[in-house]
């Protein structure tokens, strides 16, 4: 299939976006599963965040392994398969993970559960590495972010439903259940076993759908593989350092003397915090080094020779990190007296609305893919977000949750709509505006308590909503034959969801969960910077008009 295709292949696009639902369903469910596991297995906040570390770390390892094997055989494995076959293989790996989860739940072993999540997400990594450039190639370059927004809207439907379903599986419909007492019941994980039987079956059905679909092309693009040994060396060095740091952090939890000091210090582990900060710095400075070195001598860096990609990798890292860390720590935050002392299934509506906020934004961001008139687009930008908002309320109401606290959130949705009008359908401009809005929301949440702060933190989902497709389309803009490789690099940076939440968790153990939310402020600040700076990069390459202005109405 040629990347020069001009008309959107809608039948192929509609088939493709089914897998986006799974990624959202499982990923968002972690927001409910984390506080449950914390109580079930007697974990601190950092240890509970290892669920995100295992899940999102698998995305990094999967994409890295794909790049390593491609380099060894000097051939782009994914492109030789075709994106369609890559997605099928990814779904089969996720099926193995679901089966593993069934056995892990039966054993009641936390580390086996982490391993099962890792395998599920390893399959997601392959699916996502294939699906992102596939969706991008199914139409005009300047509408790529709109197609990814449409796929993201389906992804967000999964994120909206996921917390509700997992909450029901764990707690039933009883709001305000004592999670500490409930988690200690021997049968408290039984429903997760049934859930993953169902999920594994869905993975197999989806694999069959892709295999037998005649409307979905194989998805190969013209590509000349370049080993990019310097890029590989940098990524392997970063990986080795991260493994050493985390191996040491984990080993300390097996040391009786550390556990005694940890208890004595009431969970305040300053060395552990320092080490966790180091993991962040290794990635940031490693990628910045790659950016500088590749600019001086492009040979051997492959796709990393393009600054929009390398800085976009940091953009994806911080975006996924902030998206995940806001909700992963939200359950703990809502359990504090200042935020209502909520427990069990009572937190599900807030987690669901947070992820539903991403759906609200992505549905709005996908409007342009259907090429409405300028007037109709403006009308839809007002109507569609509230339709999505109504879907989130309905999903929670059907599940038996009290949705009264979510009514006033309609006013916050209006702020996001204003952001869309200011962005004028320009990916970089919208990214910058939403990054600034996210910063402001987090600062309001930090300086207030109660429902005002809850709304502020939940609104982070509204402002994260368009960031993935915007960063992704801007990151691979103009990189030509390196598109497949660049896509793999960007998917690797989903690692942010495995690094930033544990970092915030470690900070929360020391300074308090509310105060730890300064981390999202920093993340939104970088994303706003990337939205501003990437236009300058693209202008130097002479493609800013094609990417940034083409989608305007």
pLDDT digits over 111-123, tens only?
898 999 899 989 9
Distance, in Å, from the CA atom of 258 to the CA atom of 425, rounded to the nearest integer, reads 53
Residues whose CB falls within 8 Å of the CB of residue 146, separated by 6 or more in sequence, listed in order: 365, 366, 367, 368, 369, 469, 551
- What whole-number distance in Å separates Cα of residue 76 and Cα of residue 210? 21
Assign 317 a pLDDT band (cuts: 50, 70, 90): very high
Statement: residue 1 has pLDDT above 50: no
H helical segments located in 403-466 = 410-423, 427-447, 450-458, 460-464
pLDDT, mean of residues 447-476: 91
Given a cut of 90, whether residue 368 has pLDDT beyond it is no
Residue 552 has pLDDT above 50, yes or no: no
* Angle of helix 50-73 versus helix 307-328 axis, rounded to 10: 150
- The answer, as to whether pTM is greater than 0.85, is no
Of 37 and 539, the structure prediction assigns the larger pLDDT to 539
Compute the distance between CA of residue 24 and CA of residue 518 in angstroms, rounded to an integer: 25
- What letter would DSSP give residue 329? T
pLDDT band at 221 (very low <50, low <70, confident <90, very high): low
Give the residue among 147, 148, 125 at the shortest CA–CA distance from 22: 125
**How many whole angstroms separate alpha carbon 350 and alpha carbon 362?**
19
Span 271-298, pLDDT tens digits: 888 988 999 999 999 999 998 999 899 8
Mean residue pLDDT of the chain comes to 82
pLDDT of residue 3: 40
CA-closest candidate to residue 413, choices 374, 455, 367, 350: 455
In total, the chain counts a number of residues equal to 553
Q: Examine the pLDDT at 223 and tell me if it is beyond 70.
A: no
Q: How many CB atoms lie within 10 A of CB 176?
A: 15
d(CA 395, CA 353): 10
Average pLDDT, integer, range 124-147? 73
Among 381, 379, 365, residue whose Cα is nearest residue 414: 381
Cβ distance 439 to 390 under 8 Å?
no
On whether the CB atoms of residues 316 and 489 are closer than 8 A, the answer is no
How many whole angstroms separate alpha carbon 397 and alpha carbon 387?
15
pLDDT in tens, 73-110: 888 787 788 878 888 899 899 999 989 988 888 888 88
Among residues 544, 364, 549, 550, which one has the least CA distance to residue 463? 364
Least confident of 70-79, 257-266, 514-523: 257-266
**Ramachandran assignment for 277, one of left (phi > 0), alpha (psi -120 to 50 degrees), beta (any other):** alpha
Between the alpha carbon of residue 415 and those of residues 243, 280, 361, 440, 456, the distances in Å are 42, 32, 11, 12, 12
Instruction: Reply yes or no on whether the pLDDT at 184 is more than 90.
Output: no
Cα–Cα dist 62/127, whole Å: 10
For 244, residues 6+ apart whose C-beta sits below 8 A from its C-beta are none
**Residue 504 has which token pair?**
């915030």
Express as a percent the part of the chain with pLDDT over 70: 85
Cβ-contact 303, 475 below 8 angstroms = no
Instruction: Flag whether pLDDT at 460 surpasses 90.
Output: yes
Ranges 90-99, 133-142, 487-496: which has the least confidence: 133-142
Q: Which residue has the higher pLDDT, 441 or 332?
A: 441
Cβ partners under 8 Å of residue 432, min gap 6: 528, 531, 532
Q: Helix, strand or coil for residue 236?
A: helix
C-alpha distances in angstroms, 294 versus 140, 236, 277?
29, 17, 26
Main-chain dihedrals φ then ψ at residue 344, nearest 5 degrees: 55, -135
| Range with lowest mean pLDDT among 56-65, 170-179, 400-409 | 170-179
Is 350 or 195 the better-scoring residue by pLDDT?
A: 350
pLDDT of residue 457: 95
- Neighbouring C-beta atoms of residue 292, cutoff 10 Å: 11
Task: Quickly state the pLDDT bin for 211 (edges 50, 70, 90).
Answer: confident
Dihedral sign of CA atoms 481, 24, 307, 242 in order: negative
Neighbours of 312 (CB within 10 A): 27
Asked whether the predicted pLDDT for residue 412 surpasses 50, the reply is: yes
Residues whose CB is less than 8 angstroms from the CB of residue 455 and which lie 6 or more positions away in sequence, other chains included: 408, 409, 412
Q: How far is CA 112 from CA 62, 103, 106, 240, 284, in A?
A: 19, 8, 10, 23, 30
Contact 97, 116 (CB under 8 A): yes
């Amino acid at each position: 299939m040629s990347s020069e295709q001009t008309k959107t292949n809608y039948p192929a696009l509609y088939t493709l976006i089914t897998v986006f639902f799974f990624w959202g369903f499982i990923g968002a469910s972690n927001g409910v599963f984390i506080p449950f596991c914390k109580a079930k297995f007697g974990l601190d906040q950092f240890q509970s965040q290892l669920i995100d570390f295992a899940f999102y770390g698998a995305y990094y390892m999967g994409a890295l392994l794909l790049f390593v094997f491609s380099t060894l055989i000097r051939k782009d494995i994914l492109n030789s398969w075709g994106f369609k076959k890559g997605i099928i293989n990814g779904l089969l790996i996720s099926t193995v993970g679901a089966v593993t989860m069934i056995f892990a739940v039966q054993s009641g072993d936390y580390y086996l559960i982490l391993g099962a999540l890792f395998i599920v997400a390893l399959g997601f990594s392959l699916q996502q590495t294939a699906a992102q450039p596939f969706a991008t190639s199914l139409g005009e370059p300047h509408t790529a972010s709109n197609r990814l927004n449409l796929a993201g809207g389906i992804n967000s439907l999964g994120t909206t439903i996921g917390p509700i379903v997992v909450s029901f599986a764990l707690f039933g419909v009883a709001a305000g259940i004592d999670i500490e007492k409930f988690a200690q019941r021997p049968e408290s994980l039984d429903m997760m076993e049934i859930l993953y039987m169902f999920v594994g079956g869905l993975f197999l059905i989806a694999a069959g759908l892709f295999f037998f679909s005649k409307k979905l092309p194989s998805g190969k693009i013209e590509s000349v593989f370049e080993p990019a040994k310097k890029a590989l060396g940098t990524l392997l060095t970063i990986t080795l350092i991260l493994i050493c740091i985390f191996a040491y952090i984990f080993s300390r939890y097996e040391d009786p003397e550390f556990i005694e000091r940890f208890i004595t210090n009431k969970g305040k582990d300053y060395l552990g915090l320092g080490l966790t900060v180091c993991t962040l710095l290794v990635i940031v400075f490693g990628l910045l080094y790659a950016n500088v070195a590749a600019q001086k001598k492009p040979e051997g860096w492959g796709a990393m020779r393009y600054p929009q990609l390398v800085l976009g990798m940091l953009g994806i890292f911080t975006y996924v990190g902030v998206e995940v860390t806001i909700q992963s720590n939200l359950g703990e935050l809502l359990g504090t007296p200042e935020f209502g002392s909520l427990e069990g299934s009572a937190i599900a509506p807030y987690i669901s609305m947070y992820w539903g906020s991403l759906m609200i934004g992505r549905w709005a961001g996908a409007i342009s893919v259907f090429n409405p008139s300028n007037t109709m687009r403006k009308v839809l930008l007002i109507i569609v977000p509230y339709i999505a908002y109504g879907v989130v309320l309905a999903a929670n109401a059907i599940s038996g949750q009290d949705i009264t606290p979510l009514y006033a959130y309609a006013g916050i949705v209006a702020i996001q709509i204003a952001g869309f009008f200011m962005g004028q359908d320009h990916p970089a401009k919208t990214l910058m505006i939403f990054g600034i809005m996210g910063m402001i929301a987090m600062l309001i949440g930090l300086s207030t308590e109660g429902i005002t702060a809850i709304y502020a933190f939940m609104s982070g989902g509204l402002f994260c909503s368009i960031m993935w497709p915007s960063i992704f389309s801007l990151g691979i803009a103009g990189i030509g034959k390196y598109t497949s490789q660049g896509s793999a690099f960007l998917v690797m940076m989903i690692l942010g969801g495995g690094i930033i939440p544990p970092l915030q968790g470690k900070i929360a153990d020391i300074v308090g969960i509310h105060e730890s939310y300064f981390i999202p402020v920093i993340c939104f600040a970088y994303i706003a910077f990337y939205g501003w700076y990437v236009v300058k990069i693209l202008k130097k390459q002479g493609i800013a008009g094609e990417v940034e202005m083409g989608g305007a109405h």
